Structure 1
Amino acid sequence: MAVTESKANFSSRAKALGLEDPVLVKFVDAGIDCMSKYAFLSSYVERTDDSAPRKLAAPDRADRLQRQQVRLSGLTIHGPTLPGHAVIDKCVQMYEDNVLHYLPPQSCPCRDDEVKFKKDRDDKMLSVDGAGHVSLRTQVAKVDADVSSDLLLELALTRRGLALDQAGIVTFSEHERWVEALFTARFRDPPDNYARVTLQQLMQADRQLFVEAADRTRHGIQLVSDGKPVDKIWSETMTCNNVTHLLQPLVTAPPAPFRPGPYDDRRTPYLLHQRMFQEGLLGKWIEQSDVLKLFDCLPKAAPQRGSGGGISFTTGAFAKVKVGLRSNVAVFPKSTQVLAAFVRQSAPAHKFTTVVIFDGVRTSPHRDQQNSFLPNLAIPLSSFAEGSIWVQSSKGPHARTVDGSTLQGVALPVSDGPVLFDARRQMHLTDVWQGRRVILVAFSISAFDKLSFEASQRLISLDFALPTAPEVEHFREHPQLPARLPWPPRFPLLSGSPGSNPATDVPGHKDPLFLELCAGTAMLSRCFREAGVPVMPIDHQHNRHHPLAQVCNLSLTEDSTWDFLRNLVRDHPIRFVRAAPPCGTCSAKLLGLKPVCNVSGEA
């Protein structure tokens, strides 16, 4: 005999579970005397979390809708406002489970969409329920509501309110008060610098409302003698701080910094004004104020070093994982040329591959390991007090505390003029300053010899003075000591000794000078330099000849150039002067000047 058919097993099992004898006798008298008969008393199977919502019968569904239409006589429940059958089934199942869940607006399509997207044949799929049972179930086609606009979202919320009202969870009037509160916040004018409440914020607040309501109805949501539990806590939930703070306008994001690209037409007006300013600088003696004005026109970036903020602009070569040219070389070629010309004007013998301008940047103690052994040149562009560059030196008079240790060094007063120091081997930092501290730093990357031929020629065409291997080897063996350069520079001359030390080729000595105006090829300056005479060839920046010596790009059409020449002749002994007739871009024809007399000799 099977265990399920055993009467003795049924009696012993009932007594073990605590069933009293009089109750057991009633079961036996009714014919329920074994486990098999007891098991088939009911066909009810407990619902699991994976089970689909129970569908309402058609008469029940029609009765709920009819009673709702009578109760809400002022509302047309038809078309886009009629909730789909699946939405009502979910709400009814929620009521029977006696637990409030969040029903997203996008899960509340209208009945018309359900009919349009209904499949002729449902797909079958194997599923495993929470108890581990495998069954073949029908895969119901999911239809989502479109909530991409204000109107569509409001219609979806209205359908959800009607479905919840039919299920007896919350009355439609209470739910509609929440919808009105959402869109009141949506269309409220925000304060200045604040953005209007977005649809995403409405969705977040709607979700949080159901979270708070579910927390306040843990005892259940089914109808009781004094009304619907959700209706009683609905107003309190709507005004909850966890919900209302999600409906506040948010601060607008700051505008993105303008970063024009080489193929961006939107940068045209900006570049036209900037290009006119740059081309004007290339034909004259460049002042600090000119470079500072140019820097204020250029886009800024956060510095790679420094603490406490600050901005910078970098152009020239870079050496990180790869070696190449920075994008600013291609985007701002004229600005790059102006900065390079200013560096060569300030220290003609200085060799560099990169130029960077720092504005309000304070660096902590560090060494620039990616730099070459050539010294860094720092030039002030603005007027400020203090803000020296402290460079470590064993014999220096100025002490600084670095990582708990006291180190000696030299404080280079960069506010007074250009300074030179070895940034690769000597630890250095920035002291505090007063005012706006803007400085230009020109240095050479360590892997300058890895630059491609095209990249090197591009830098040379933009007036960069690229280093050579012998010069780097010289500074490897003889490190640059912290030093100051004369300021302002009185003349951009070239040393007369071709093999001289670049560290000592700075303006300020009083050797007689050979001055060549409209130098062209600068052949004569080349010969004088080989003879040991300091030379200074001058020609326009658009010189069509290939100069054989380093030429100072100055235009004789500028008054500032003649002021410079007068100061040069007054402050420095001149051995020879050669002035060739002007030609090319300096000719009277291009300047539009009329001749003194015509062909017939008439004045």
Structure 2
Amino acid sequence: MSSLVESAHHFKLRCTEVGLSRETLRAFADHGIDTLSKLAYSCGQPGTPLPQTEFDDFVASLIPAALLGEKGSVKRLLFESQALLLNDLREQVTQPDNKWSTKDVPIVERQKRMEAVKASIPGVVVEGPLEPSHGLLNAACRMEREGQLRYIAPEQCGTRMYEIQNVKAQSKVLSLEEGKLAISEEKGLPEVACGSALLLQEALKRRGVALQFAGVASFLAHERYIQKLFAHMGREPPPGHSRTSVHQLLTADRQVWTKMIQDEVPAKRGADGRHPVDDALVPALQSYEVTVCLLPRAAVESKKRPAPPKRFAQDRDTKTQKGDPSRGGGKGNGKGKRAAWQPSVPEGIRKLGGHAQTPDKKRICGMQSRINHPLTFVCR
């Protein structure tokens, strides 16, 4: 479990912080008290006043030689355990359906679990791009605590560094609890980019680390699932088809978890110590509903864009003949020299003796008038 009242590491830390001796800790362990939740029900009833005589009998049976100061520390720890337990039960009742309203894993619990995860997967450096965010760890632990699978998209599997650098204010949610309005904070997982195959693979690996951290699935089983998923991307497609895309992998991953949730695969470890999710990942990937999402798709032939319309021909005829005054010919148009600019005249008008210039070489039609009235010429 991941809450404060169910963490054995947090219990030992709190016993040390309130000043209990090693002998008292050993006495707690001998009587099977290793969490705050067990201590809360060991003496008295949570939510009701604790009689002094009942507490004295409890301490006398547990640690007969306890001094007055140590008795006070035990009473303080007992009151704290009952208060935390009541608060934990109240949150489970008032916020049962809030997807990301998870209780954070205690610091000491998170450190111990992460050390155990790193030791169980040698050869994998759980740092940098493979270190999951605390929000991802909390979301995975909630699945184990409730015993129900929830789909965590790769976009929500951020890194710890990204979580530190992109701290967002939590949104406020107004709810009605026991006939009274209450304002609570809604926690959400920040989204990261998964547009490329490398980013998607790293996000899935971080989810595998979080699942083993929470005890929902083993990292090796999830890694085997990732390799089979990406194997579809490396296969040579048939002629006229394109390779499996990253978008298809994302769709298939969502379908895999949807199928496991529909099949009611439990999130808790079984009595034999195996994870049901480990045995369900690959069969779900090989099901028809998921395989159809990974089939190579027909390649779309890129249509050639139509050629842009040709611009209006410039008012220059490079194929003018010498001696034709209407075509800009005459003296001075030798080879190697650029022909003088002459406005073009339609052949029909030219045969009738039409000209585009006056005898003093002035245009009869300007550029603007030629656009509006392209057939304005003078025939002589």
Q: TM-score range by the shorter chain?
A: 0.5 to 0.7
Distance in 2, Cα, partners of 1:129 & 1:167: 31
1:243 Cα deviation after fit: 1.1
1:92 aligns with 2:144: no
1:87 Cα deviation after fit: 0.1
Q: Deviations over 1:322-376 (max 9, x none)?
A: xxxxxxxxxxxxxxxxxxxxxxxxxxxxxxxxxxxxxxxxxxxxxxxxxxxxxxx
Any residues of structure 2 matched to 1:232-243 within 5 Å, and which?
A: 232-243=279-290
Any residues of structure 2 matched to 1:120-139 within 5 Å, and which?
A: 122=169, 125-128=172-175, 134-138=181-185
1:546 Cα deviation after fit: 8.5
Any residues of structure 2 matched to 1:475-494 within 5 Å, and which?
A: none
Distance in 2, Cα, partners of 1:66 & 1:262: 68
Judge conservation of contact 1:108–1:145 (CA < 8 Å) in 2: yes
1:263–1:86 CA distance, 2 compared to 1 (3 A) = farther
1:31–1:54 CA distance, 2 compared to 1 (3 A) = closer
1:141–1:169 CA distance, 2 compared to 1 (3 A) = closer
Please point out which of 175, 191, 203 is paired with 1:156.
203
| SS of the residue 1:247 aligns to | coil
Please point out which of 542, 546, 550 is paired with 2:347.
542
1:141 Cα deviation after fit: 6.8
Distance in 2, Cα, partners of 1:123 & 1:221: 28
Q: Deviations over 1:455-512 (max 9, x none)?
A: xxxxxxxxxxxxxxxxxxxxxxxxxxxxxxxxxxxxxxxxxxxxxxxxxxxxxxxxxx
1:174 Cα deviation after fit: 1.1
Q: Deviations over 1:73-117 (max 9, x none)?
A: 111001110000000000000111111111100101000111112
Any residues of structure 2 matched to 1:382-461 within 5 Å, and which?
A: none
Please point out which of 234, 243, 246 is paired with 1:199.
246
1:255 aligns with 2:302: yes
1:130 Cα deviation after fit: 8.6
Name the structure 1 match of 2:227.
180
Name the structure 2 match of 1:223.
269
| TM-score (normalised: structure 1) | 0.36
Please point out which of 44, 48, 52 is paired with 2:96.
48
1:544–1:242 CA distance, 2 compared to 1 (3 A) = same
1:106 aligns with 2:155: yes
1:69 Cα deviation after fit: 0.8
Name the structure 2 match of 1:300.
none
1:141–1:211 CA distance, 2 compared to 1 (3 A) = closer
Structure 1: gaps (5+ residues): 1-26, 33-39, 265-540, 548-603
Q: Deviations over 1:423-456 (max 9, x none)?
A: xxxxxxxxxxxxxxxxxxxxxxxxxxxxxxxxxx
1:170 Cα deviation after fit: 1.1
1:139–1:231 CA distance, 2 compared to 1 (3 A) = closer
Name the structure 1 match of 2:255.
208
| TM-score (normalised: structure 2) | 0.55
The one-letter amino acid paired with 1:101 is R
1:42–1:53 CA distance, 2 compared to 1 (3 A) = closer
1:141–1:117 CA distance, 2 compared to 1 (3 A) = farther
| SS of the residue 1:543 aligns to | helix
The one-letter amino acid paired with 2:271 is S
Distance in 1, Cα, partners of 2:252 & 2:307: 39
Structure 1 or 2: more strand by fraction:
1
User: What percent of counterpart residues are identical?
Assistant: 24
Please point out which of 267, 273, 291 is paired with 1:244.
291
1:102–1:123 CA distance, 2 compared to 1 (3 A) = closer
**Which structure is richer in relative contact order (CA contacts within 8 A, separation 6 or more)?**
2
Distance in 1, Cα, partners of 2:305 & 2:237: 26
CA RMSD of aligned residues (A): 3.0
Structure 2: gaps (5+ residues): 1-44, 51-82, 312-345, 353-380
1:73 aligns with 2:122: yes
1:207 Cα deviation after fit: 0.2
Distance in 1, Cα, partners of 2:86 & 2:243: 58
1:191–1:82 CA distance, 2 compared to 1 (3 A) = same
The one-letter amino acid paired with 1:52 is S
1:139 Cα deviation after fit: 5.3
Distance in 2, Cα, partners of 1:31 & 1:78: 48
| SS of the residue 1:128 aligns to | strand
Any residues of structure 2 matched to 1:472-551 within 5 Å, and which?
A: 542-545=347-350
The one-letter amino acid paired with 2:202 is L
| SS of the residue 2:292 aligns to | helix
| SS of the residue 1:127 aligns to | strand
1:134–1:187 CA distance, 2 compared to 1 (3 A) = farther
Name the structure 2 match of 1:118.
167
1:212–1:31 CA distance, 2 compared to 1 (3 A) = same
1:31 Cα deviation after fit: 9.5
Name the structure 2 match of 1:385.
none
The one-letter amino acid paired with 2:206 is R
Q: Which has the larger radius of gyration?
A: 1
Judge conservation of contact 1:118–1:141 (CA < 8 Å) in 2: no
Judge conservation of contact 2:154–2:203 (CA < 8 Å) in 1: yes
The one-letter amino acid paired with 2:253 is D
Name the structure 2 match of 1:64.
113
Judge conservation of contact 1:217–1:230 (CA < 8 Å) in 2: no
The one-letter amino acid paired with 1:222 is K
Q: Deviations over 1:570-598 (max 9, x none)?
A: xxxxxxxxxxxxxxxxxxxxxxxxxxxxx
Q: Which moved more, 1:181-190 or 1:59-68?
A: 181-190
Judge conservation of contact 2:260–2:280 (CA < 8 Å) in 1: yes
1:192–1:31 CA distance, 2 compared to 1 (3 A) = closer
